[in-house]
Each structure stands twice: as structure tokens, then as C-alpha cells.
Chain A
Amino acid sequence: MATASLEIKVTPEIAAEHGVTREEYARIQGILHRDPNITELGIFSVMWSEHCSYKSSKVHLKRLPTRGKLVVQGPGENAGVVDIGDGLVAAFKIESHNHPSYVEPFQGATTGVGGILRDIFTMGARPIAVLDSLRFGEITAGKSTPAEEAAKNRRILDGVIRGVGSYGNCFGVPTIGGEVCFEPCYSQNPLVNALALGIARKEEIFLAKAKGIGNPVIYVGAKTGRDGIHGASLLASAEFTEESQQKRPNVQVGDPFMEKLLLEACLEAMHTGAVVAIQDMGAAGLTCSTMEMASRGGTGIEIDLAKVPQRETGMTPYEIMLSESQERMLLVAEKGREDQVLGVFEKWGLDAVVVGQVTGGGIAIIRHHGAVAAEIPAHPLAEEGPVYDRPLAAPAPRNQTATDWFDFAPEGTNLTQNLLKLLASPTISSKRWITEQYDTSVRTNTLAGPGASDAAVVRIKDPKTSEVKRALALSTDGKGRWCQLHPRLGAKHAVAEAARNVAASGARPIAATNCLNFGSPEKPEVMWQFSETIDGLAEACNALGTPITGGNVSFYNETLGKSIYPTPVIGVLGILDDINCLLKIGFRNEGDRILLLDGAAGGASPSPTTDSSREFSSSEYSKSIAGIVAGEPPGIDLAAEKRLIDCLGALASQGAIQSAHDISDGGLAVTLAESCFASSVAGAQHAAPLLGASISFDEAGPAEFSLFSERGARAVVSVTPTNLAAVLAIARQWNVAAREIGQVTGDGSFRIEQKKRAVIDSSIGTLRDVWANSLELTLQPK
């Protein structure tokens, strides 16, 4: 296929090889009023691929809330844009690069990061942060994971981490957060979701709409090669089989240095005022950029492929149009001012060539040495593709009984060993070994890098004056296991957790972006999961005031017929109006009181009924300690989540508390331990010994539930004794239950008592060492 030439006669069979169905082929014939030639077929096949056209998800995505008073640009452009005050806007979006990262982990990950960065600076915004939400198969051998598979997963992880790091580090954007999770279902299908954030002055935002008949179309950046042909259509839009490794040539190769030059040159060119529109060449390369720009602008476009800078000889129009070579841009300049634009790219040593012009009439004409290679009406191609309302079917109810659920240890059992085991589990343990391979401090904006606060926090320097005013907080969260057990509930939890994390940093959540990772849309059960997820997201985003401004859908995440857990990854963005109000997770002073905030009114612990046993079976503790994944996630009360979020915001803005950390994976005990691990003694210039905690509670029932349940709407905060009354008053004001559960200690111990009997008793140093080192010991044994 890669050497296809113009002479090939297109048949429905050849169309089928391109992933184009008979009905879709008929639709192509309808639009063209003839058979397509091979180049045109190639163009249709990528534009109508699941990856580019959202043909299976469109009907559902409409249900997501996308508007809000701060939303400047919702879904449909290269990235969402929100107003962050002072004349500034933030552009942000999350995207997947899952399949390429399995086939070729390093390059798959680099080009994932590169693609999302281009989406941001295409909007005229300078990227200031990247977050990566990564999911892999289990990296330690166990019941469900043979040693060989665990070793393979470690290699994939290593390649992905190096790829993410190498691109961001060289490009010069800090990689400051995200998640790394492990579940067996990601073994043959890791998830690599990259989020980028950029800022610009509001009037400087660029859109990808071709305008002005006669305006020149300019190709800039890297030369076009044969890499990545059909990356979008065949790699991203089909499930994996045993032959998938043969698709390695379909994976693109990243060049962060080139992208750095492209960034600087594009922003400089935009500042000349001579650029009318700009679009990056990502998935489906030159095809997508030409067709979408023309379609959005309601114009036609005419280009000659012979003028496109190429790094290989003898490339056919088909190959040039479908290449996914990285680090390329297409822009439209104002007629007569093209030299100004070309001059900027020349200064940065980049190829920039006028390859065609904007035309009237809505037809895209692709020439090769003058001869017409393709002639397609742009708007129908881009906007009148197939849309499928695929069948949905709820899976058969799982036949679970109480015997399948987690069995709580008797009251009074000492749980220290279990806490140690949980802290050592890859999902809970410190990700320092990974995040230290990322440049987290370049651009000197990072106020809270990985693990410092519940959200990653970067301050905003005005692009013109470098004046610092506010900061932005970002958190990505996905609850794959919970979505598998209950997609709608799991999706709500993902939004709530991301928003809660942002609030626990002191910021106000304002908008969201989503990356929806699912199996094959051709399976009714998967489409049911998808539809349920969308409804859950919509409900939670509405309740928490975080409209979805963009993102992407990644289907066909399955290998040999086995789907991943449905995994919506949500990125929530928040504004921190005063950088001095930033909250971090670490305890700060010996003697500070530790409070458990619970947005659910009353905040009483539920009694140990079979319900708590069932929901506990979905927890990280249940999975890590008992090997049980069952039941359903805890119920969610979105109003309670909102109360907690608002309460945290009030506590932060009044400077009332010393630290805040939400309760999520691993429950209260892990939250408390992490606040100790991150402790920094106020005023200490250099490293001081870790602070500990002394906690006691009196309710009856299984201590495991009290300590490790992952119920939402809760956070742990610390407060100085003098501020205690004020904090309790603020909590009351927001109708959030605040219970004093203990205090920060300086004797190096970590002790939790139930009815005066120790259920956890350890030195904080021992816990910290296990938590801090276990990932490194697994990934890089000495």
C-alpha cells in the first residue's frame, strides 16, 4: 500500500483494506459523483477514520457540557481555551498516544507529547506545562502476571518514561504531574495520555480557519518522509492482533529540537501580524491540515505537492498526503506579506515554502507537478463523514455474592504490615524515580511539581511583562478499575477527584479536558460503557462547574479481543488567584492539629454492613492486599464534593490551614502517611527530619474500612492550634463536617489507634523508605 501509485484502480476491496466500509465507500462516490482515485481514497480513509472523525463517539459527545462563562473556545479547535483573567487565556488539551506507545514505546511517547504541544502553540499559546497520565500492565510478577509479561511491561514503561522525558526536557517545557497506574488490563495496551497547557494574551489566540481568497498557504517545519503513513487510520483505529508489531513503521519519529525551533518561529511569525491561520500536521498530516482549514474557513484550497519539502525521493501524492512526519505546520499568510513570514522561519533555520493558496468554491485541489492528484469538496469531506449511533448493550449482571467480597479483619487487628505492603504497591508508591527523569523546573514557574501538592501548580508570567499574578493548577485523574465495575459512577469519581485535587491546592476548578480510552466501539458492551461514561462525566462536570473544553477519544484499545478497562482520564484546570495561598500536602509543624474534612453532611462513618464490604472490594487495598477486585465503587454525592471543594477554597484563600491532601487511592491511612512523607518543617532552610502523626478514633467496626476506604468528598488538613476554631467555623459555614482526628508529631512515629489500641504503629522513616524506594527497586534493581 505504501508504494501505491496513481494507476491503481480503486475497488471496494481496496477501500476495505483502508478500513473504509462499503457504505462509506458509497458515500465517497456520492460526494465525488465518481470513483475516488487511490490518493483520494487515502484522504477519505484517514479523514473518516475513527481517530480523526469521531464517527462512533459524536452522537454521545454532544451530551457533554462545553460552555461556561470562562470558556473562550470549546471543542473543535486544536485546544480548548479559557479566560484566566488580566487579559490572559489558557489553552489546554489532553490526547492519547496509546497504540504507538505499545508498538514503539519511546517514539510513541515522544510523538504523543510533541503532538499535544503543537496543538497548544498552534493556538498562539506558549506551552508552560505538560502532565502525563500513564497506565501500564503489572510490573511485578504475580497471580495474573507471569514474570515474562511483567518484564515486558517494565520495558514498555521504561521506553515511555524516557520518551516523555526526552521530548519535554529538550523542548523546554516542565513535565510537572499526571499519574502512573498499573492494572493487568493495560498489559498489551498501555495508555499514554499527554496533557499540555499554554498561555497567551486573549487577543493573540489563533484559529485554524483558512481565510482570504488568494492568500498563500505555507508549509513549515520538518521535511515530509514516509513515516507514520496510516498512523491514524490503521494504528489508532483498529484493535491489536498478533501482527501489530509489524506496524512499527507506522509509528512516527519525534524530534523535539525541531519542535522547539518551530515553537519559537511560529510564535514570532504570529507576532508579525501576517499570519491568518495556522494548523499543525498531526494525525493524518497534510490531509487533515489542508482539509480542516478549508472546511472551517468555508473556502477551498489548492496546493502542489511537488513543492512540499521531502526527505525521501520518489514519494507519491498518496504518501505525501498521508505521511505523519512530525514537527510540521501549515499556515495561511496575508497575501503580499509572505516574505515577512518566510523571513522568520529562515531566521530559525526552518524550511518554509509557499505550497499553494486559499481558493473560493470550497474545493480542495491537490496537484503534483501541476497534474491534479486529488480533487475533493473540503467541507463534505471534513464534516459530512459517517456518523454511527452504534448499538449499546449493558453487560450481563455479574453474579457476585458476599463470598466474593473483601472480608474485613477482626476489630483490633494490627494493620501495620498491610500498610507497608500498600505503600510499596506500584500504584501507591512514590513516583520519584519516574518524575526525576522529567525536567520539572524549567521556565521557573513550577510552584508545586510532582507530589508536592494534590495538583501540579505553575505560576503565570505575563508574556509581555513577566509580571507574576496568578497560578494555574492542574490534575489528571482516571479511575479505570471503578469504571470497569460501574462506568457511570467511576466517571463521576474521576471528575470529582480531579476537581478535588485542584481545590486541595487552593485553586478554584474552572474547566476540564478529557481523554476517553475505550475498547472497540463495534462491541455493544463497550459502547454501553462509553455512553454511561459520558452521562457520568456530564453530570459531574455540570455539578462541579467544569465544562469540557476539548480532548480526544481513543477507541480500539484492545488486544486479541480483550478490552482495557473503560478509562476516561479527566484533566481539571483551576485558577489560584494569589500564589501565596498555595496549599501543599506536607505537614509543617509539630503540634498542628489534623482534621478530617467530609463534605457528606454529618460525616459519620457508615456502619460495617455488607454494603461497605462490597464497595471496599473495589479499593486499592482490596486489590493489593487480598487480590480482590469486585463489587462497586463507593457511591458519590456530587453536592458533597462541591461543598468540600468550596470549603477548601475558602480555607486556602483565608490562609487558615497549613496543608491539605485529599483522600483517594489507599484511603485515609495513605493520605496521612503521604502528608508526613512530604513534611517540611516551616522555616527550615535545609532538610529536616520527617514529621509523624498520632491519630485516634473511637468508632467500632473494621479498622480496615476506616483507614483504607476510598470514599470521596474527603480531605485531610492540618492547622495550628491557634487557628483551629477559625477552621472549624469555616467548615461549618460550608456545611462540611470537620473532625479532629489527631496531631502532627515530631518524635518520628506514625501511630493510629482505634479505641486506644494501636492498629498502625511504625516509625515514619520505615514507612517512608518502603514508599520511596519500592518503584526504583522494581524498575532498576541494584
Chain B
Amino acid sequence: MKFGVVVFPGSNCDHDAYYAIGKVLQKPVEFIWHQSENLAGCDSIILPGGFSYGDYLRTGAIAKFSPVMKSVEKFAKSGGQVLGICNGFQILCEAGLLPGAMMRNLGLRFICRHVHIRVEQTDSPFTNAARKGQILKIPIAHSDGNYTCDEATLVDLEKYEQVLYRYTTSDGLDDNAGNPNGAVHNIAGVCNRERNVAGLMPHPERAVEFALGSSDGLIIFRSMVEAMVGAAKATA
């Protein structure tokens, strides 16, 4: 079992994801350079947060043309586990590996703070270690996290239970009040129909130790480990 963290020019949460997996979770992890088409035998790929290529055109719009993304796409199509965090989520949307797109935050400002998200589904490699309805406290840090999609896609997302995480308040009672950026249906993270590719705006890698204010993000990484262990058993 090995995680790979892709490094685009301008990625700035690559070290954090690496640290969370390698140091806190104590699982094998390595960096994958954006010009590499070789995923180095990794079983799970993380597209980290940051400002790939400066995000000067549109968030994630240039990164999707990176050589590494061809391999990531192939990997995803063959059922490989891919998680996009923040800018990584934006890249996955741009690359068409996840439905939807990001608009500027409702208030048109960058927002960094802890938010609460509810785990809506537990039958995915990104949520299987959580309880359904569990509320996680995880920080966000973005300008463009206002998730949107067309009506038909939205209906499908809900119908196929692809909304994995939804913004809410700490008590889980008022999703609209907990939504920091205006995302449609208070969506914080989604997966694809096949459930092997997911993206979320909050940063689970920043919530991995009590000293950082929360360790709830570990639940997401543990889920990914569980899924890989399960997959290994199934093929054994």
C-alpha cells in the first residue's frame, strides 16, 4: 500500500499531505512530479491543495494539461483511488474526473477557518471509517470553493449518493448557516459515480493532530487505508 502526492508547480499543501500520511498515519508515501507520467506503483493518488500554475487562468485549468494528469486519468478510469483536496478538487473538476465546477466564494474573498462538514455517505473509500452523519471539524482555505453544477447533474449527484460531505454547523442542525462559500446544496465534497475518485474543499491534512485544533481529518485518510486493505484482501 502506497500513497502518491502529486506536486504541481504552485502546489503548497503537498508537504502537509505527505506529513499527514507519512508521519502521522505512518503509511508509505512519495511525491510524484507533475512532469512524470509514472505513478510509481502508488495505490492511492492525492492531488494536494495550492495554486497550481498560479491559478492565474482559472483554478485548476492549466494543471489538467500536466503530463501526470494523463496517468492519473488512466489510473482513475481503471478504478484507482484518487482524492483531490481544495486545488486538487478544482483540478479533478477541470479534468472531468468529477462533475461540477467552482465559482468564486459568495463573498468574493479568500476564507480560512475551521468549518464543520457532515459525512453523508459511508460506502466510499473516503468515508468508510466514519459514522453516517458524523460531523467533522476541518479547516478551509480558498477563494474558489463555491461548488456548482447544472440541475441535471445535481439531481444525479443526490440520486447516486455522490455527495460525501456537506457543510453544516457544529451541531449539524443548520447546513445553510454552516456553508462558508455559497456551494450549491452545501456541498463540500463529492465522488464520481464509481466512487473511486473524490474531491473536497476542506483540508483534512490540516486536521490530523489535536495540537492543530482538530484531528478529524484522519478519519478520511484512515478510510482510504481501509479501502486499500480491503481491496488487497479481495484480490488476494
Contacts and interface: CB of A to CB of B under 8 A. Distances in A.
A171 B13 CA distance: 10
B211 interface: yes
B20 A686 contact: no
Given A257-B54, A447-B211, A461-B19, A172 B12 contact: yes
A169 B141 contact: yes
B56 A436 contact: no
A11 interface: no
B78 to A, nearest CB: 29
Contacts of A687: 170
Q: Which of B109, B111, B143, B171 has the most CB of A within 10 A?
A: B109
Interface in B88-124: 107, 109-113, 116
A444 interface: yes
B10 A442 contact: no
Q: Which of A442, A685, A686 has the most CB of B within 10 A?
A: A442
B71 to A, nearest CB: 19
B110 A439 contact: yes
Interface residues of A toward B: which range? Answer: 20 to 34
B211 A255 contact: no
Contact of B10 (A165, A261, A438, A444): A261
Interface in A681-697: 685-687
Interface string A433-450: 000111111111011000
Contact of A443 (B16, B51, B53, B139): B16
A441 B111 contact: no
A170 to B, nearest CB: 4
A440 B50 contact: no
Contact of A446 (B19, B51, B171, B212): B212
A80 B177 CA distance: 46
A215 B50 CA distance: 37
B23 interface: yes
B16 A257 contact: no
Contacts of B112: 169, 436-441
B105 to A, nearest CB: 10
Given A257-B51, A444-B206, A439 B141 contact: yes
B170 A437 contact: no
A316 B12 CA distance: 37
Interface residues of B, number: 39
A260 B23 contact: no
A441 B206 contact: yes
Nearest to A258: B54
A686 B212 contact: no
A260 B110 contact: no
Given A166-B110, A257-B53, A686 B19 contact: no
Interface string B124-139: 0000000000010101
A436 B113 contact: yes
A661 interface: no
Contacts of A447: 211-212
Interface in A508-541: none
A170 B54 contact: yes
Contact of A437 (B50, B111, B137, B205): B111
Contact of A170 (B15, B16, B51, B111): B51
B9 A348 contact: yes
Given A446-B212, A686-B171, A170 B10 contact: yes
Contacts of B211: 447, 459, 579
A85 interface: no
A443 B171 contact: no
A440 B213 CA distance: 12
Given A171-B12, A686-B170, A441 B203 contact: yes
Contacts of A255: 54
A255 B9 CA distance: 13
A438 B112 CA distance: 6
Contacts of B22: 466
Contacts of B46: none
B141 A444 contact: no
Contacts of A261: 9-10
A442 B16 contact: yes
A263 to B, nearest CB: 10
B141 to A, nearest CB: 5
A780 B50 CA distance: 27
A349 B55 CA distance: 16
B69 interface: no
Nearest to A440: B112
A300 to B, nearest CB: 36
Contacts of B171: 686
Contacts of A172: 12-13, 50-51
Interface in B26-60: 49-51, 53-56
Contacts of B110: 165-166, 169, 437-439
B83 interface: no
Contacts of A459: 211
B208 interface: yes
The 3 closest A-B pairs by CB, nearest first: A172-B12, A257-B54, A686-B170
7 contacts: A166-B110, A255-B54, A256-B54, A436-B111, A439-B110, A439-B141, A442-B13
Given A441-B212, A466-B22, A579-B211, 12 more contacts: A166-B110, A170-B54, A255-B54, A258-B54, A260-B51, A436-B113, A441-B203, A442-B141, A444-B16, A447-B212, A686-B170, A687-B170
